[in-house]
Structure 1
């Protein structure tokens, strides 16, 4: 599936992902695995749901002083090094808010919004509505809510192992996280910004009998932002695969280890 394609919101489909040959959680493989695998990815779920709004709405003195030389060696805003800017101090609906009207502020906003949109809260109606209303412009959010409600149908949730309310079965832990690696500004003005966020996505069901173990994928999420209501808000967004590093030789964790890690390790407020 390529980002930006138009889709039928009757049932979401996602980016295909290769899973281990054997189930690390010890459960039997589910028949027809290829169709469900296409659903189990952070990118696929969100890209499908937001595709509908894609069409909506750098002469001076030749001499160099020691101070000037030091400034020249400092990393640019878009460099790998962190800027040193402190995270925002406020939240709205549990999501960081009040970002600076600067390039760094736009990067921080896009990064934190990616985390929110990749969370388990998106699979439950009430929290999903709150997230969308918080991170998108009012116009974009209004156009997204109904298509999203249709896409997150009971049938779709069931394919992920969730009940109609988006809850995991007793003894299981549903995992959906976006872990940002970096961000860069592709375009910027006083009122708009285009920011790309490179991230690692985790999604799946952790449990002894799970046939959809937690897997990872690498994606780049690009956000078109607008300054609205005193903060950066998303107007539209797209996703692409990778860049993905070569997988390491890490030992696959058990379902108990994954569940414990998800419960014990919380997220961050990201600042550029």
Structure 2
């Protein structure tokens, strides 16, 4: 899927079309294998293409995946089992990073303080992909904090405004959340991005362009959910600038894939997915 470059990240920042499922920026089709409606909860439907999407302008990874997920619709695809999970909720601090200078969390969530070199730029790009693909992006207060940490201050104010328009009450409802961004009772909203690899395509002393190949999870786990958690594959290209002793995003774009062949693994129940999300903390990345 594609996203716009440079602030305002497209020709019509923050605008929306008459299509309730669309935003601005590009088109994308996905094929996903979903839990079916078999009585044992493990059946699978044949892959199908999603609707053509007009993507949101900006740099937010999960927003694009969530739109595709919202467009799948409901019907008889309800996941089985309740949202649950044992043990203490894990977070990014559960797996400490390594590197020349261990990265720190500037807002309690997003890593910062990367080395002023090519490896530091790769680490920054991977960490920023994780933060921008997290469920925290659906909460305005947390989203504003993430954008502040990850972006060049010059673009932050305009980007916040664009994202406020993109994360509208209607969009939040389409992905299964309440209009204020909270999760309905008995369900668990899942949104997580996992970098698979990084590649520097341009680098100078104070600028770098880094591609981050990612897989992501997005969906709603819980009894009665009509939007099961599914996987997506995409590559983010981040243009970074050295600002205030750290790497910051100037602009970003996104494309679909590379996407591997879907395996024959059976889809897990909603209980298994919700428990895994609670039990396994997200990584912070450093090189």
Partner Cα distance (1:48, 1:226) in 2: 28
Contact 1:17/1:37 (CA < 8 Å) preserved in 2? Answer: no
Tell me the distance in 2 between the aligned counterparts of 1:123 and 1:166. Answer: 6
Tell me the secondary structure at the aligned position of residue 147 of structure 1.
Answer: helix
**What is the match of residue 9 of structure 1?**
15
Q: CA deviation at 1:89?
A: 3.9
Structure 1 contact 88–96 (Cα < 8 Å) conserved: no
Deviations 1:167-197 (A, max 9, x none): 1111111011101111011000111000000
* Residue 166 in structure 1 maps to residue 172 in structure 2: no
Structure 1 Cα separation of the partners of residues 247 and 2 of structure 2: 26
Pair 1:45 & 2:59 matched: no
Residues paired across the two proteins, number = 231
Cα 1:122/1:142, change in 2 over 3 Å:
same
What is the alpha-carbon distance in structure 2 between the residues aligned to residue 211 and residue 264 of structure 1?
Answer: 23
**Could you tell me how far apart the structure 2 residues matched to 1:141 and 1:256 are?**
38
Q: Which residue of 2 aligns with 1:61?
A: none
Name which of 140, 148, 154 aligns with 2:155: 140
Give the distance between the partners of 1:34 and 1:193, measured in 2 at CA.
34
**1:70-118 CA deviation, whole Å, 9 max, x = no partner?**
xxxxxxxxxxxxxx73562411012111100000000000000000000
**Unmatched 5+ residue regions in structure 1?**
50-83
d(CA) in 2 for partners of 1:116, 1:131: 7
What SS does the aligned partner of 1:171 have?
coil
Q: Which has the higher contact order (CA 8 A, sep 6+)?
A: 2
The corresponding residue for 1:248 is: 263
Q: Tell me, in whole angstroms, the C-alpha distance in 2 between the residues paired with 1:112 and 1:148.
A: 20
Aligned to 1:225: 240
Name the residue aligned to 1:210: 225
Give the Å deviation of 1:148. Answer: 0.7
2-side partners of 1:222 and 1:44: how far apart?
14
State the 1:143 CA deviation.
Answer: 1.5
- 2:102 maps to 1:88: yes
- Identify unmatched segments of 5+ residues in structure 2: 5-9, 68-97
Aligned to 1:184: 199
Per the alignment, residue 279 of structure 2 pairs with 264
SS at 1:9 equivalent: coil
Q: Which has the larger radius of gyration?
A: 1
Structure 2: how far apart are the matches of 1:108 and 1:128?
21
How far apart in 1 are the matches of 2:54 and 2:277? 23
> How far is 1:159 from its partner?
0.5
**How large is the RMSD of aligned CA atoms in angstroms?**
2.9
Higher helix share: 1
Judged with a 3 Å threshold, the aligned counterparts in structure 2 of structure 1 residues 87 and 258 are, in CA distance, closer, same or farther, namely: farther
1:100–1:106: 8 Å Cα contact kept in structure 2? yes
